[in-house]
Structure 1
């Protein structure tokens, strides 16, 4: 029997790894048209919500479009259906297609757009280019009967706890004796109602980003045998994971500018791009920013980048970067289309894991407005 996820549930999955709090101030993310209060049989991932993309969604019986670029950037004063924007909204409403925008929150998120771009460029040892958010750390301490410690450790590790550097499932365990009296109406896993019980228990400790706290605690409770679980959460002063705009990392080997440009064109499958040549003739350290990268020229210089890969570079900013020695490869705003494939893969996996039959597809239309002639 097929089971379609609700729109609210699908977006809760999306926001579990790309929460709204990560978005830049003023970015119009979230639900833009329609309702999420309905079952969704088909989701389409799109970079832009253009009229032809909506026509594609109508033809494909799509219930929800998750787009990277918001359909509505500024408040509308009117909806004139003789215009393209008006027709888009009219078609969406008539066909009950909701539109949800995940923009800079998806850029900033760990394993978000800028990580996908860095991976596509095959950057090594990459880090955040321009930090905007620090995910605070929390310590979980939970008491478990000795017989069930491994299944609880595995559950919290799989949910994201215990990641320290390049290591996962990191925990610390100490042993002791737990005591309790099951009161009237309880159904204890161990013990008898009204009698003091002593149990050999272990205390498992592990750290996690605050953003994963609910997920980890839920996984811990599901794996734990007790009816009532004894656990503590402690906020930590340790530095958490930095998130932000852009990534900077190293190529596995140095390339000439010409070799690097060929590499960029190949991995992003683009015919042409603009290059602002700096002072260096070889490329090793690479910064990448999806979308408009004009604000990230100087962060790239400060962090020692040989080249910045981005889009929409302004003429005078190009002069400034060149004078300061930075090479820029303006591959176009449209390289962010990588989010269609990667977000589809992630959302389809999440829904399948939860046993939903909701289909996730990519928009097959190219929406880059520029043609190289």
Structure 2
């Protein structure tokens, strides 16, 4: 990126930092769908779905990039021919010079993510995930090396990818001590002689590295460590819960009734044919609220264990809710799937705007179209 331009690669890299692809479910499809990473981006539109109407709006507005939540190409496809519904949209976007990017379940689990945007809109604070994602697998490497080679071995570990902790790089800890060894027949020692005890001033280097980098770390030690048999230990660290994961549970500033809170939800979210409906005692006092943008009925059991008084989510079904309430579970509020995820659009917009709004000509926009598929509500006779 030059001082006065933003490339598609710059924009997608920023989105990947906010919504790491590693957080996506294994079945999901996220990231850049179409577009040339080298192209310049100055106009970005955000929407939940890449429908035909949304694509029309993006192209008419002059968008260079359309960022959506729901994947256009999720299930397996073997064609994007222009005579297929989804292929036609891809062709129109490509011809119109508008790239398409998807952040789906990675945005659901990110911090902040889809459920954070919903929680904030409803006045729910001090949130934590309903289903936390454990931290990535990390190893601690302990390497013993002659003091004369400490710097070169440590640098090789860094080059191989070790030593990164959050926003810090080249992190290590070193302490000095005395090592000893006795080479026996068949050894080719770099130091010492066969069958003679050797004592050496050594340093103990400790670094961390993702477990996925084990082959690279081992390769670096084989290449740079002066000993015929490098002395090292590898400890896999405990995986701790993180602030990432699906759903959120938090608190209201002031307790209220289920009836009043349901009305707050209705006022906060965009109007849809699906509307807002609640199940449970209308006069129940609620102060701890669980939310999950999108379909969240799989968490009905979990939210009870987290002390929630009410659970706000989408796509709830009769029997699971009935059984949940019979078992004494918290009240539930069911909203339209699209409406529960729509607040995320403004959150995603803020991510790129905070990075690139200073760029000349930069502009962004959340689509005004409601892509909820339901079009007719209750009918009068």
TM-score, normalising length from structure 1? 0.70
Residue 281 of structure 1 aligns with which residue?
284
The structural deviation recorded for 1:357 is 4.7
Q: Are 2:262 and 2:277, in contact at CA under 8 Å, matched by a contact in 1?
A: no
Residue 308 of structure 1 aligns with which residue?
311
Matching of residue 359 in structure 1 with residue 344 in structure 2: no
Within-5 A mapping of 1:153-302: 213=166, 215-217=167-169, 239=240, 241-270=242-271, 272-277=275-280, 281-302=284-305
Residue 191 of structure 2 aligns with which residue?
none
- Structure 2: runs of 5 or more not aligned: 141-162, 171-205, 210-236
Q: Are 1:3 and 1:357, in contact at CA under 8 Å, matched by a contact in 2?
A: no
Cα separation, 1, equivalents of 2:307 and 2:164: 31
Matching of residue 323 in structure 1 with residue 326 in structure 2: yes
Relative distance call for 1:359 and 1:138 in structure 2 (3 A) is farther
Within-5 A mapping of 1:145-160: none
Residue 29 of structure 1 aligns with which residue?
30
Cα separation, 1, equivalents of 2:107 and 2:351: 12
Cα separation, 2, equivalents of 1:292 and 1:107: 11
Relative distance call for 1:241 and 1:132 in structure 2 (3 A) is closer
Cα separation, 2, equivalents of 1:106 and 1:211: 24
Relative distance call for 1:11 and 1:356 in structure 2 (3 A) is farther
Cα separation, 2, equivalents of 1:356 and 1:329: 44
Q: Deviations over 1:80-122 (max 9, x none)?
A: 5445323212211222322110011111111111111111121
The structural deviation recorded for 1:53 is 0.5
Q: Are 2:73 and 2:86, in contact at CA under 8 Å, matched by a contact in 1?
A: no
Cα separation, 2, equivalents of 1:345 and 1:243: 19
- Structure 1: runs of 5 or more not aligned: 140-209, 219-231
The structural deviation recorded for 1:136 is 7.6
Q: Are 1:45 and 1:66, in contact at CA under 8 Å, matched by a contact in 2?
A: yes
Q: Are 1:135 and 1:241, in contact at CA under 8 Å, matched by a contact in 2?
A: no
Relative distance call for 1:76 and 1:260 in structure 2 (3 A) is same
Q: Secondary structure at the match of 1:24?
A: coil
Alignment length, in residue pairs? 289
Q: Give the one of 337, 340, 343 matched to 2:342.
A: 337
Q: Are 2:164 and 2:208, in contact at CA under 8 Å, matched by a contact in 1?
A: no
Residue 193 of structure 2 aligns with which residue?
none
Cα separation, 2, equivalents of 1:306 and 1:237: 32
Residue 112 of structure 1 aligns with which residue?
113
Residue 192 of structure 1 aligns with which residue?
none
Cα separation, 1, equivalents of 2:270 and 2:355: 28
Cα separation, 2, equivalents of 1:211 and 1:105: 22
Q: Give the one of 318, 323, 346 matched to 2:351.
A: 346
Cα separation, 2, equivalents of 1:212 and 1:366: 42
The structural deviation recorded for 1:47 is 0.9
The structural deviation recorded for 1:37 is 2.7
Relative distance call for 1:243 and 1:55 in structure 2 (3 A) is same
Greater C-alpha Rg:
2
Residue 61 of structure 2 aligns with which residue?
60
